[in-house]
Chain A
Amino acid sequence: MSVFVDENTKVLVQGITGKEGQFHTRQCVAYGTPVVAGVTPGKGGQSMDDIPVYNTVKTAVQETGANCSMIFVPPPFAADAIMEAADGGVELIVAITEGIPVMDMMRVKNYLKDKPCRLIGPNCPGIITPGVAKVGIMPGPIHKPGGPVGVVSRSGTLTYEVVHQLTMQGIGQTTGIGIGGDPVNGTNFIDCLEAFQGDPETKGIVMVGEIGGSAEEDACEYIKAKVTKPVVGFIAGLTAPPGRRMGHAGAIISGNSGTAEAKLAAMKAAGVHVSESLGAVGEVCASVF
C-alpha cells in the first residue's frame, strides 16, 4: 500500500520535449514508472523515446488512459498547464515547475476547488512510492521500498537528506511527498497526514517543514486531533533572518509569524518527536519507529 501513487498510476508528462522534461521522464521510466504519454502543444504525433506526444491533455488521456500528470512547463505557462490537466480528467497533477507567480497559483487553487483531482506542488520534487513509481525529480536509489514510514516535506534536497538518513538506518518508506516551497500550493501537510493515517502499511510519519506561513502549525492541530501514528518532525530555518525570502518563495518570516521557533513549539505541543538538528533525524526516527 501507499498513498496517491501506486501500481495503477499511468503518467503523462506535460512539457515532455523540453530539456528538463526529457531528462526526468527518462529517469522516471528507468525507475519503472509507467509513462504512457507526453504533451507538447504543436508536437502532437511525434514521440519522445517511444512515448507518444499529443497536442492536448484531453487527447492524451483519451488515447492512453493516463491518470497522472507530471508538469515541467515553464512558469509563464504553468498555471494554464495545471488547469488543462484538471479539465482533461487527470486525477493526480504533480507540478514540478518553480517560479509560478503567486496570483496564478491563487487562481489555480480556487479553480481546482471543486474538481475531482489532486495537485501536488508546484515548486516541488514530486512524489515517489519506492519500488513502484516515481513521479518527480528525486534520486530514486536513496529510497528503500516497502515502508513503514511516510515522508512529507516542503523542500527538495532537504527531503533527500532525510530519506537518505532513513534508508541508512534501515527504515524504508511507503510514499515520499514533496508538497513544494511556494506560498500557495495544492496538497498540504494535512492532506498527506490524513492519507498516511489511513494507509495500513504506513506505521509512522516524518514531517519536514520550514519557516514561513502556518501550514506546520495547522498540521499540528490536525495531528493532535486525528493522527494516532507516531510523527517525527524537523523544521529548517532557525537561523533565518526575518523579512528575507530564503530561496523558496514561501520561506519568509513576516513580522512575528512563520518562525521556526513557533513551528517547533507547535510540534512539541502536538506530541511530535522533534529532531532539532538535521544531522540527527535518522537517529530520532530509529528510536521512534
Chain B
Amino acid sequence: MKIHEYQAKELFRQFNVKVPEGGVAFTAAEACEVAGGLGGYPVVVKAQIHAGGRGKGGGVKLAQSAQEVETFAGEIIGMNLVTHQTGPEGRRVGKVLVEQGLNIAKELYLSILPDRATAKNIIMASEAGGMDIEAVAEETPEKIIKVLVDPLAGLQGYHLREVAFGLNIPPAAMKSFTQLLSSLYRLFAQYDCSLVEINPLVLTAEDEVIALDAKMDFDGNALFRHKDILAYRDTDEEDPLELEASKFNLNYINLGGGGNVGNMVNGAGLAMATMDIIKQAGAEPANFLDVGGGANAEMVENGFRIILSDPNVKGILINIFGGILRCDVLAEGVVEAARKTGLNVPVVVRMEGTNVEEGRRILAESGLDLTTAVDLKDAAGKVAAMVS
C-alpha cells in the first residue's frame, strides 16, 4: 500500500528521521498559511499524488513569496498531473505539501527494501541523488552502493559505516547521516515496508542530512498488524473499479488500455496466462480478475458487474480450473449473475476439473446464451472472434 509524501514525512518525524519543516494544504489559502509559519522564503510547493516524476510534470514549484505560494498552490491543486508513472491519463491533484527551502550542498539517494533473491533487507545508496535511480542502475551501476542486512541479526554499525563512507559523507555530517539511516531502518522494519526511498536525501551547507523527499510502500500482507497505516489509505488514488472490487475481496486489476475482452479466472497464474492467450488470439484483455479458490455465487456476480462496468468490454471469457472451487458452484454463480445483470455482451465459458460435468449441465440447462469451449485455445479463439 502506497502513501503520500506528507504522510511518510509524518512517520519520518515520529522516528526521528529529519525532514524539512512543512505541512499539507488542501487549498491555496491553506498553503499560504502553512508557508507563513515556516519563517521565510523560498518555500517549495509539491503536488501530493502516488506517483513519481512530479517535478518534470510541473507538480513541484519553488515559491519566493506568499503571493507565489498562492499562485502555484492554486495552479497545482486541481490540476491533472501527468508523469511517466501516472500513464497518459494523469492523476488529479487534491493537495500540496508546502515546505521550507533548504540550502542544498549535495543530493544523495537512499532506499531500503526487501531483496527477494537473498531474503535480506537491502540498503541502496548513491551519490547520484535526485535522478531516476533505475537509469543510474542501468547506466552506471558502480555508482550504487548495496549493503545487505540479515533480518535476524538486524542493522549493525558497520552497515552504517559502509554506506556512509561509500557516499563520501563529510566527517562533520557523519553523525547526522548514521543517525538518520539507523532511524530509517527501524521505521522500515517496524512497519513491514516494501520500500522506503528518499530521493533526494540532502546534505545541507550546514552539514545536516535531511530527507527532502519521502516515499513509502507497505506490504499489504502485513497490514493486519499496522492498523494505524490503514488510516493513510487514500482511495482517491485508486482506480474506481479496483476500489469497488476490493470491497468484495475480488482481486481485480483494470489494465486500462481499452481492452475489449473481460475475463474472470480462478488463480493468479492462470488469470495472467488467460490474459496472454486472449492477446495471442488477436483480442485485447481488459482486466485481470482472480476470483480465488473460495469464490461463491455472490463474488462471481460482483465480478461480472465490475467487468461489465468497463464500457470497452465487448465480450467476456470465464476460465475456471476447478479444484477447491467446484465447477458446479461456479456455473450456478454465472447463471445467477447473468440473470440478475443481464447479458449484453457474449460470454464464453471454459471449465475443467472438479464436478465439470455437473457444471456444464447447469450452464446448458440455464437457457442462457452462453458459449462453451472445449479447451483454452478454443475459448480464446471464440471470444476473440466475437469481439472482432
Are A and B interaction partners? yes
B255 near A110 with CB under 8 A, answer no
Beta-carbon contacts of B338-357 to A below 8 Å, as 1s and 0s? 00000000000000111000
Give the distance to chain B from A31, nearest Cβ to Cβ, in Å: 13
A279 to B293 Cα, complex, angstroms:
22
A194 to B108 Cα, complex, angstroms:
43
Beta-carbon contacts of A237-272 to B below 8 Å, as 1s and 0s? 111110111111111000110001000000000000
A142 to B322 Cα, complex, angstroms:
10
- B277 on the A face (CB < 8 A): yes
- A230 on the B face (CB < 8 A): no
User: Which among B194, B288, B353 is the interface contact of A247 at CB below 8 angstroms?
Assistant: B288
A249 to B290 Cα, complex, angstroms:
13
User: Which among A161, A208, A247, A256 is the interface contact of B376 at CB below 8 angstroms?
Assistant: A161
- Which of A100, A103, A138, A251 has the most B CB atoms < 10 Å from its CB? A103
A156-B267 contact given A164-B353, A240-B288, A241-B255, CB 8 Å threshold: yes
A237-B277 contact given A155-B267, A157-B266, A161-B321, CB 8 Å threshold: no
Binding site for B on A (CB under 8 A): 23, 75-76, 99-107, 109-111, 125, 137-139, 142, 153-161, 164, 181, 183-184, 208, 210-211, 213-214, 218, 234, 236-241, 243-251, 255-256, 260, 276-280
- B192 on the A face (CB < 8 A): yes
A-B interface contact total, Cβ < 8 Å: 169
A237-B276 contact given A75-B221, A278-B376, CB 8 Å threshold: yes
A residues near B267, Cβ cutoff 8 Å: 155-158, 247
A246 near B377 with CB under 8 A, answer no
A158 near B255 with CB under 8 A, answer no
In the complex, given contacts A139-B353, A213-B116, what are 16 additional A-B residue pairs having Cβ atoms less than 8 angstroms apart?
A: A100-B221, A101-B222, A156-B270, A157-B265, A157-B267, A157-B269, A158-B270, A160-B353, A161-B273, A236-B276, A246-B272, A250-B116, A251-B268, A256-B138, A278-B273, A279-B376
B residues near A160, Cβ cutoff 8 Å: 270, 321, 323, 353
A102 to B119 Cα, complex, angstroms:
9
A249 near B321 with CB under 8 A, answer no
B209-259 at interface with A (beta carbon < 8 Å): 219-222, 224-225, 251, 253, 255-256
B280 near A109 with CB under 8 A, answer no
A247 near B268 with CB under 8 A, answer yes
- B206 on the A face (CB < 8 A): no
A238 near B276 with CB under 8 A, answer yes
Beta-carbon contacts of B344-384 to A below 8 Å, as 1s and 0s? 00000000111000000000000000000001110010000
- B151 on the A face (CB < 8 A): yes
- B22 on the A face (CB < 8 A): no
A157 to B222 Cα, complex, angstroms:
25
A76-B225 contact given A155-B268, A183-B114, CB 8 Å threshold: yes
A76 near B224 with CB under 8 A, answer yes
A110 near B119 with CB under 8 A, answer yes
A residues near B225, Cβ cutoff 8 Å: 76, 101
25 contacts between A and B (CB under 8 A): A75-B221, A75-B224, A102-B114, A103-B114, A103-B219, A103-B222, A104-B222, A110-B119, A110-B120, A157-B266, A157-B321, A158-B272, A158-B273, A160-B323, A160-B353, A164-B321, A183-B114, A236-B270, A237-B272, A237-B273, A239-B279, A241-B256, A247-B267, A277-B277, A277-B377
- B150 on the A face (CB < 8 A): yes
- B125 on the A face (CB < 8 A): no
Beta-carbon contacts of B87-122 to A below 8 Å, as 1s and 0s? 000000000000000000000000000101101110
Give the distance to chain B from A244, nearest Cβ to Cβ, in Å: 6
B172-208 at interface with A (beta carbon < 8 Å): 189, 192, 194
A213 near B221 with CB under 8 A, answer no
A102 to B268 Cα, complex, angstroms:
18
A102-B221 contact given A184-B119, A240-B288, CB 8 Å threshold: yes
